[in-house]
Structures are given as structure tokens and as C-alpha cells.
Amino acid sequence: MEIYFQLITDADGVRKTCRELAGERYIGFDTETTELDPYRGDLRLVQLSTGKSTYVIDVKAFPEPRANSDLDQLRDFLSDPSKIKIAHNAKFDAKWVRHHLGAELNGIFDTFLASQLIAAGDSERRHSLADVAQFFTGTELDKSEQVSDWGGELSQSQIEYAAKDAAIMVPLREQVEERLRNDDLMRAAQLEFDCVMPIAEMELNGFYLDESRWREQLDRVKIEQERAADELQDMLSAGVAQATLFGRAEINLDSQQQVTDALLNLGVPVPETTRAWQLQPLAEKYPVVAKLLEYRAVAKSLSSFGENILEFIEPKTGRIHADFRQIGAPTGRFSCSNPNLQQIPHEQQYRRCFRAPEGRTLVIADYSQIELRILAEFSDDTTFIKAFASGQDFHTTTASQVFGVQPADVTTDQRSFAKRLNFGVVYGIGASRFGLMTGLSQNDAENTMRKYFGTYRGLDSYLRRSGSDVIMKRIARTASNRMLRLRFDETDRQQVSSARRYGVNMPIQGTSADILKRALRILHDSLRGTSGRLVNIVHDEVIVECDAAEAQSVSEILDRSMCAAGKEYLSKVPVNVDVHIADEWTK
DNA sequence: TAGAATCGCCAC
DNA sequence: AAACGTGGCGATTCTA
């Protein structure tokens, strides 16, 4: 493909570029940077393309780009939502442009996110620009310059490569959008595109972690770990000590194999796996098993939540800038890595290390029972909906309805059964699993579940209908119409039932993700002009950091934004958000 | 021996 | 495949 491009190095060039682009609605957009992390390197090139003409702006030619007025028109162009910037993984470019040019990126069409939506959970499909271009337009892309040095003198081939990447976005968008329309995915796509900037901002903001608090916590766990390891070592080697005649035989406590052997030597009837849930029942009878579980817990804390996380603190900001994948799961949920801020242990001693720096505070908001409310909405079950409308404790209300007693007379056990069923039903729990986790016999478990579904007849029929629907159509969709294609062999009963549970769960989990994503966009717009900064999200929880003096108004903004998003998707059930202000990340 | 696969466990 | 869904991650174990 021959393309026309020019290198822009002065104010005149920027003006000319913006004038040329003024009449266009869709513009291919890409950046080249010297590093992958915007805090580590420089933004070198900004490429904009009509498809026919491509403008390669050499940012290095503009001293102090953030403050350089020669780039004002470029900033205006980038933040203009009516000019659609087509980019592949726009979050990346948005971060660089935000940090190095001071421009918000609005009006995004992201071929990376679109490709994932269209793939609908097909894990075989890849989503690099080269793969996506190949898949949708059949063009081969040479990405060999991608990793070249963008810091020094640029070669003609580098500039041409940069131009090409922006130019191909224009025809690519046409193909991708056609597929989005065919699959009825435009609403989901818009939802995703609108969420890119909030997430880019969040990653730039980072989450403050108090290093000394974390180290103190670490030291405490280290001592516990050593003690537990020592005691466990003693107990395990008791069975083999006489055989070796050399006191204690050292066992690798982290090796399932060695631990299993040692347990067998001690006469412990080891189950098929040594996972906690299997070992738990044995803990009471065998102290060594209890000790093993204790050791595992602290060892896990030390390895997963130890020193390593401190290495993620960016020296320039003193904060953790994790990577959020917007479509981390095929359901639409986010995933997070480097580090995963969505799996920090719930215990106070860990959470309290994530706090607001001096003068700032955290506003923490989470949707109350959002997945169950979605299920209530989908099922249209009047009794289930009524349980929410009452405004009382949901599990207690459920228990009172299922067991036919007054809410005040609900026993602890009854509430616990109701709670576990409420959660389990979202995942498609069966009687055997329910019995296992409640300690109920198979028979009692079945009876309790019968009672539950007898009370919520609408819920029962929705789940059955939804299940047979996904098996028949092999497709599941969320409220935004996000799509998942189910792949299973219909002659394999286990595959079918697995696909059924997956397909029934996906619209619930995925609609929850839809609502969160919508909330993030509304929040992003509502927080403009305030000191509020998004710092973390955990599926149904949103954490904003703001000036302490502004906490009250920011908490109201957060509440309003999240409720508004919920109401866009749920009409029969009230949406409730719990908001609180705290200096630390605590419940 | 490096990378893949597996186990086990943290979050929602 | 714990007959309960989604992820990431660390340590061990397997494999080319």
C-alpha cells in the first residue's frame, strides 16, 4: 500500500494538519513512544490520518510539549468528541497524550476492544493490530519497526511505518464497524470506547501504597510464617524421623507431593487433592492438617502479597500504576495485573496499607448486591424483586420468604442458607455443592433448594429458560448486548452442563460489568473540575481519591454516577450504592 | 534448562 | 470440572 504522508515539525504544520482534518469525521490515530510506560519515556510521534493523507507530528520538535501553545490546536482536536479517533488499544495512546501533551482523548473508536467484542470469547482469536488487520481487511502488516529506537534521528522507514499504522486504521474501522453492526454490538462497543479515557486516567493516577505500613505487615507475617513452617516441619517429619535416624527430615512444605507423602506416613487419609476445601474437614481430627492449612495461608500471603508488590511503586509518583485490561474476561469484566489490585486480601492489615496521602482522602463506593439485582431484573420474579424493594437486609428477607417466617424470627442458620443460595444461584450451584458447603445432607440440601425455587418460581423458570436458550442458540448476551459464543460438544453431557452454567452466568456477571463501565464514564465527566481522581476498581467497587475538604461532594458525585449507570440498565429493581469516606481502603 | 502446565489460593 | 462463574499470580512439576 502506497501512502501519502508528511512529517510535521512546526506550528505551521500543526495548523495545516488540523485544517486538513477539520472536515473529516474519522481519523486514524497512533503514537510512537520511546518506552511502554508514560512515566518512563517520551512521546515521540503523533500520527493522524484521513486514510489518504497522513500527518506525522514529531513531538520532539516542540519544546516542553505540555506547555507549548503550538500544540493547542492538536489538543483541541484530540479532545473533540465529534472527531472520531480510530486507534488500536487507545488506552495506550490516551495515557501518553494525556501525560505528555495534557490532552484528554475523546471520541474514541478502538479496534482492539472492538475485535475482542466480535470474537465473543473465542480465545483462539488474537487481537494485535497485525492480527486484527489481517482478519478484517486481509492486509499484512510489518510490525518490525515497532520496537525500533524512537528516541533519536528517525529513518525514512520509521516515519513511513508510523504513518502506515495510522493510515490503515481508517479502512479497518469500516470493516470492524460493519461486523459490530452485524452482530448488534454497537451499544457494547460505545460503552467500551467511552470507558477508555477513565481507565487511562486511573492508570496514570495510580493508587497510593504506604510502603512502611506494608513492610511492617510483611515483617509480622514473616515471623508467623517461620513459626508455622517450623511447627509444621516438626509435625510432618514425626512419621519419618525414626526411619532416617537423623532427627528431622526436611520436607519442602510447598510441594504437594512431599506433603502428601508425609501426611500418608502419619496415617492421615489424604483426599484426592490437598486443596484447602478438601483438607478442612480433616483439620479437626488431625492437628497436622490444621497446621498445614495455617502454614499455607501465611505462605500465600508472603509470596503473593510480599515484597514483590513494592517493586511496582513508580519512583516518579510514589504510587502503584497497575495494568487494567478492559475486557479482561469474556463476560466483560476487567482484569488487573502488575500487580493485581483486585485480589488484595480483604483483611484490614493489608487494605489499610492502601491509603490516601496527606491532605487527601478516599471515597469508597460499591454496588450493593448488584448481581442479584440484575438476576431479579432479568427473571422478573415479583417476590424476588419485592425482597429488594423492601429495603431490608436482603438475605434475611429471602430467608423469611423461603422459610415462611417473620423477618424478625429468621435464625442465623436460615439467613446463612439463604445467603449461600442467593450467591450460589448466580453461578448455577447444584444440590451436592450446596450440601457440601452448608454441611447439609444431600437430601436436606435438595429440599432447601426446592423450597427456595418454590418461593421464587419466576427465578426458577428464568434460569431454566436462560439455560436451554444458551444451549440452543449457543450465544449469551448481557444488557448492553455484549456477546459470548459458547463452544461445546453437544454429545458430551459435562460440556453441555458446563456451557449452560457459563452461559447463564455470563449475562449476570457481564451486565454488572456493563453497569460499572457506564458508571466510570459518567463519573469521569462528573469529576471534571474537582480534586477527585479515580484510583481503583474491583468489579463492583470504585475508589476515588480527593482533597479531604471535598470528600462530601465527591462522595455524592460518586453515588449519583453509579446509581445513574445502574438505572440505565435496571428498571424494575432499585439500585443501591454504599459509599463511605475513609483515609484507608477499608470497608 | 527455559517455558508450559498444574496446583493452590487471593479477589469479586 | 468440586456438578459454582470470572480473573492473576507464585511455587512446583512437567516437557520439549
Asked if residue A315 is part of any domain, the answer here is no
Closest listed residue to residue A332, CA positions, set A191, A224, A474, A447: A191
- Residue A97, CA distances (Å) to A102, A113, A119, A191 in order: 6, 19, 29, 21
Q: Are residues A10 and A121 in the same domain?
A: yes
Chain C positions within 7 A of any protein Cβ atom are 1-13
Which of the nucleotides lies closest to A303 (Cα–C1')? C10
Asked if residue A202 is part of any domain, the answer here is no
Give the up-direction half-sphere exposure of residue A280: CA atoms within 13 A in the CB hemisphere: 8
Q: What percent of chain A has pLDDT over 90?
A: 73
**Total domain count for chain A?**
4
- Per DSSP, the three-state class of A40 is coil
pLDDT tens readout for residues A424-474 = 999 999 998 899 888 899 999 999 999 999 999 999 999 999 999 999 999
Angstrom distance, A355 CA to C4 C1' = 33
| pLDDT for the residue A437 | 84
**Does residue A343 approach strand C to less than 7 Å at its CB?**
yes
Closest listed residue to residue A158, CA positions, set A149, A166, A167: A149
- Residue A297, CA distances (Å) to A139, A222, A250 in order: 51, 12, 20
| pLDDT for the residue A173 | 98
**Which range is least confidently modeled, A140-144, A517-521, A575-579?**
A140-144
Q: Are residues A503 and A362 in the same domain?
A: yes
Q: Are residues A374 and A390 in the same domain?
A: no
- Of the ranges A77-86, A276-285, A286-295, the best mean pLDDT one: A77-86
The domain boundary, picked from A166, A183, A200, lies at: A183
Residue A245: pLDDT above 80? no
**Which range is least confidently modeled, A234-238, A534-538, A575-579?**
A234-238
The domain boundary, picked from A421, A455, A489, lies at: A455
**Does residue A478 approach strand B to less than 7 Å at its CB?**
no
Work out the pLDDT band at A158, boundaries 50, 70, 90: confident
Asked if residue A342 is part of any domain, the answer here is yes
Q: Are residues A436 and A499 in the same domain?
A: no
Q: What residues are paired with A205 via a beta bridge?
A: none
Q: Are residues A345 and A426 in the same domain?
A: no
Angstrom distance, A463 CA to C2 C1' = 22
**Does residue A157 approach strand B to less than 7 Å at its CB?**
no
Residue A272: pLDDT above 80? no
Q: Are residues A493 and A345 in the same domain?
A: yes
Residue A1: pLDDT above 70? no
Asked if residue A319 is part of any domain, the answer here is no
Show the domain range for A520: 329-381+477-587
Prediction pTM value: 0.93
* Calpha distance A347→A441 (Å, rounded): 32
Q: What is the mean pLDDT of chain A?
A: 91
Q: Are residues A571 and A515 in the same domain?
A: yes
Residue A225: pLDDT above 90? no
Asked if residue A299 is part of any domain, the answer here is yes
Q: Are residues A498 and A436 in the same domain?
A: no
**Does residue A280 approach strand C to less than 7 Å at its CB?**
no
Q: Are residues A361 and A489 in the same domain?
A: yes
- Residue A471, CA distances (Å) to A285, A386, A467, A500 in order: 44, 30, 6, 6
Work out the pLDDT band at A38, boundaries 50, 70, 90: very high
Q: Are residues A497 and A357 in the same domain?
A: yes
Angstrom distance, A256 CA to C14 C1' = 14
Residue position matching grid coordinates 513531538 = A59
Residue A244: pLDDT above 60? no
Angstrom distance, A498 CA to C1 C1' = 8
| pLDDT for the residue A146 | 67
CATH of the domain at A55: 3.30.420.10
Work out the pLDDT band at A586, boundaries 50, 70, 90: confident
Residue A246: pLDDT above 60? no
Burial of A439 (0-12, 13-18, 19+ CB in 10 A): exposed
Q: Are residues A541 and A497 in the same domain?
A: yes
Asked if residue A189 is part of any domain, the answer here is no
Q: Are residues A345 and A401 in the same domain?
A: no
Cell matching residue A555: 462522595
Asked if residue A348 is part of any domain, the answer here is yes
pLDDT (mean) for A180-191? 97
